[in-house]
């Protein structure tokens, strides 16, 4: 109401500058002889952003106005010839793309995403290529290997997933370290690929899950609220992608309000800022006073 009155009187509506880290949900690993899942797309105005791009621009936010926020879920782990992408995360006009699911022995192949899912392989000795990431959000997944069958590592926000090699599953691509909370934290690592007879691929730094192997058939999931990709499976269930997160930094003279359905916390003032960490939201809203 105050904003409406101010506008009618010709007075400017007060604003604040908000920095953000918006990470989408990671993709699942592939379900049978699967590549690792790609990490969720990462967009940031602080320290570094995904895909090797330039830092994003801060947003000018109107006081007392609702802004949409969504935290993307990770792609669910699967068995069989299947894979699942992560879901997008959103803050205001900023959208980060969900990570691509890892490929398997048969179609579907790996999925394009914020970071790309990695390739698997088939029974005839053919390894499949990884899928692309999204510019300024994440990197491509690694390639699978048909000889001595193994899956590639899923793409991370900070690096391409590693190709499978010598029967060993590829390591997931590394994530990106961001200091928006006041401490450096690494997010959005890719999932590791499976191995039939060698070493399973490890998840990339930043919450990526490990792949599986013949003697250790359980793949692990990406870490919650990191956007990490899930590990690729040999014959069991693949790892799920980790859910995303939205972190907002703004002047400590302002206070955020979380709307219905938004799970978040506001930090104490530090260094001239407060930080809001939003761990769950489906088309919810936030506003500032």
* Residue 253 burial by Cβ neighbours in a 10 Å radius (0-12, 13-18, 19+): exposed
> For residue range 257-286, what is the model confidence (pLDDT) as tens digits?
999 999 999 999 999 999 999 999 998 999
Which pair of structure tokens corresponds to residue 68? 């949409």
Entry pTM: 0.94
In the chain, domain spans: 19-60+73-86+98-249
Spacing of C-alpha 23 from chain mean position = 5
- Per-residue confidence at 248, pLDDT binned at 50, 70, 90? very high
Closest of 200, 181, 145 to residue 20, by C-alpha:
181
> How many Cα atoms occupy the beta-carbon half-sphere of 266 within 13 Å?
16
State the CB neighbour count (10 A cutoff) for residue 184.
Answer: 10
Higher pLDDT: 37 or 123? It is 37
The rounded distance, in Å, linking the Cα atoms of 146 and 253 is: 58
> For residue range 1-29, what is the model confidence (pLDDT) as tens digits?
334 444 445 567 799 999 999 999 999 99
pLDDT at res. 125: 82
pLDDT at res. 12: 78
The rounded distance, in Å, linking the Cα atoms of 44 and 187 is: 11
User: Quick one: DSSP state of residue 281?
Assistant: -
- Per-residue confidence at 107, pLDDT binned at 50, 70, 90? confident
- Per-residue confidence at 31, pLDDT binned at 50, 70, 90? very high
The rounded distance, in Å, linking the Cα atoms of 79 and 193 is: 15
């Amino acid at each position: 109401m105050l904003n409406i009155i101010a506008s009618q009187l010709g007075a400017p509506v007060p604003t604040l500058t908000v920095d953000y880290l918006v990470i989408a949900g990671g993709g699942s690993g592939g379900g049978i002889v699967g590549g690792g899942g790609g990490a969720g797309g990462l967009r940031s105005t602080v320290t570094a952003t995904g895909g090797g791009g330039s830092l994003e621009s801060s947003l000018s936010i109107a006081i007392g106005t609702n802004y949409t926020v969504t935290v993307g879920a990770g792609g669910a782990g699967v068995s069989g010839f299947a894979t699942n992408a992560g879901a997008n995360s959103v803050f205001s006009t900023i959208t980060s793309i969900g990570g691509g699911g890892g490929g398997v022995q048969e179609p579907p192949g790996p999925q394009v995403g914020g970071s790309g899912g990695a390739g698997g392989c088939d029974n005839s000795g053919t390894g499949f290529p990884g899928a692309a990431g999204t510019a300024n959000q994440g990197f491509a997944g690694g390639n699978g290997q048909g000889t001595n069958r193994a899956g590639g590592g899923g793409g991370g926000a900070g690096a391409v997933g590693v190709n499978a090699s010598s029967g060993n599953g590829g390591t997931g691509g590394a994530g990106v370290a961001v200091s928006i909370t006041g401490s450096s934290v690494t997010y959005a690592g890719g999932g590791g690929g499976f191995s039939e007879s060698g070493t399973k691929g490890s998840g990339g730094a930043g919450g990526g899950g490990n792949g599986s192997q013949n003697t250790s058939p359980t793949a692990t999931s990406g870490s919650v609220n990191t956007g990490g990709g899930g590990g690729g499976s040999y014959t069991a269930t693949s790892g799920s992608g980790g859910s995303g997160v939205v972190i907002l930094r703004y002047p400590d003279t302002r206070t955020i309000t979380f709307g219905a359905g938004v799970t978040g916390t506001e930090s104490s003032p530090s260094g001239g800022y407060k930080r809001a960490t939003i761990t769950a939201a489906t088309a919810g809203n936030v506003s500032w006073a």
